[in-house]
Structures are given as C-alpha cells and as structure tokens.
Amino acid sequence: MFFSSPDGTFPICRDAAGIAGNIFAFGLFVSPIPTFKRIIRNQTTENFSGLPYVYALLNCLICTWYGTPLISYDNMLVMTVNSIGAVFQMTYIIIFIVHTDREKKIRMLGFLLAVFGLLAIIVAGSLLIADRGARWIFVGLLCCASLISMFASPLFIINLVIRTKSVEYMPFYLSLSTFLMSTSFFLYGIFNFDPFIYAPNGIGTILGILQLALYFHYKTKSVEESGEPLVVSQA
C-alpha cells in the first residue's frame, strides 16, 4: 500500500522534528574529526579502519535518493541531512586514502567504486519502475534496511560494555547524539506518515535508550566501587 502525502495536519511538528534531527545528525557527522586530525598529524592511518565510513557513505547516498521528490513526498529534510552526511563521509574517506599505505589505498578505492556502482544500479533500477507507489516501496525498503543495519552496529559495543562492565568504549555524547537524532527522525516519520523513516528510527531510539541506560548503570557502579567523586574530563 502506498502512503499518500500528509494532509498538512502536523507540518510544523514534522518540520521541527526534522530540523532537530538535522542538528543532532550534524553532531554525529563531526564526531570523527579528532580521529582524522590525528591521522593527518601523524601522516598514517595506523590501525584505524576505513570501512565504517564507506558503509556510512552508502547509507547516506541511499537515504538521500529516498528523500528526493522522485521517490517520496515531503522528505526534503531527509535528503538534506543525508546529502550533508555523504559529503562528510566522502571527505573522511579521501583523507584516509591519502594517508594510508598502497594496499589499503587500492582496497578503499575498490570499495568506493563498488558504492557508486551499487548506487547507480539502485537509481537506474528504481527509475525503471513506472508505478510511483512501487518505486517508493522498493527504495524505501532499501533505505529502511540500511538504516536498521546502521543502528544495529552499536550492539557490539553494548555487548562489550556488559561483558567488561565498563563504559570506556561507549562515549556518552556519541550515544546521546544518536538517541536524540533517532528520536527526532522517529517523530518526523510519524508526523510525515512514513513507515520507512519511523520504523528504523524507532529501533534506533530503543537502542539509544539502552545505551544510555547501560552508560549510567555502569558509570554509577564504577564510581560507587571506587568511592571517588566523578570527575568529568574537559580534555
């Protein structure tokens, strides 16, 4: 079933949620900057992996295509946030390629070509679908699957936190930004009557709550066990 364009009942709430989602997403996009400052300073990628940025680029490109008027209605804010995200990810990938060794350069360039090749197939394939509703469902399912896989990636960190009983590898502000962005776009999808937006972001919201709950649980526990006051580093 094709969901029709919203009737204008919640345009202000929808746009407010979308703008908030864009702002919180920007916080996520800039979070790798310290890592890449280190790469540029040391002129090497050390043991860092470039694959997360390749996958993030693919996710942003698919979601940007979904947000265009050719695919869905009134999703301009989805298109803007993901197009900005694609620019950030592309910048990170270029920096990574410039400063990594020859073997990784070739591998990363191969992944990059694969990303744009896959995007070309998705764009061309969806445009061949004459029925607007079927096209929306096809690209929407791809967008939804991509977002869910992105939101599921912190499950490894959650498992690590539970096993080690330490939040060392789960930065608070990154978890908070993920939660706020997911919640904003969950509300945006609800107000825009778009299941391909609210379903994956609803999952992201639940995972965000779980991350924050684990953070406060183990952070508080570690402070109680040490008997020392919590000191927040400003470094």
Report the pLDDT value the prediction gives residue 156, as an integer from 0 to 100: 76
Please report which confidence band the pLDDT of residue 169 belongs to, taking 50, 70 and 90 as the band edges. low
Contact 88, 20 (CB under 8 A): no
Region 3-22 average pLDDT: 76
Give tens-digit pLDDT for 184-203: 999 999 999 999 999 999 99
| Length of the chain counted residue by residue | 235
Structure tokens at 231: 């000191």
Please, are residues 155 and 191 in contact by the beta-carbon 8 Å criterion? no
Name the nearest CA neighbour of 72 among 125, 124, 141, 5. Answer: 5
Q: What is the largest CA-CA distance in the chain?
A: 66
Closest listed residue to residue 54, CA positions, set 98, 83, 18, 97: 97
Spatial distance between the Cα atoms of 229 and 216, rounded to a whole number of angstroms:
15
Report the percent of the chain where pLDDT is more than 90: 62
Closest CA to 138 of 150, 125, 119: 125
Q: What tokens appear for 13 in the block?
A: 């709430």
| DSSP secondary structure code for residue 229 in this structure | -
pLDDT band at 232 (very low <50, low <70, confident <90, very high): very low
* pTM as predicted: 0.84
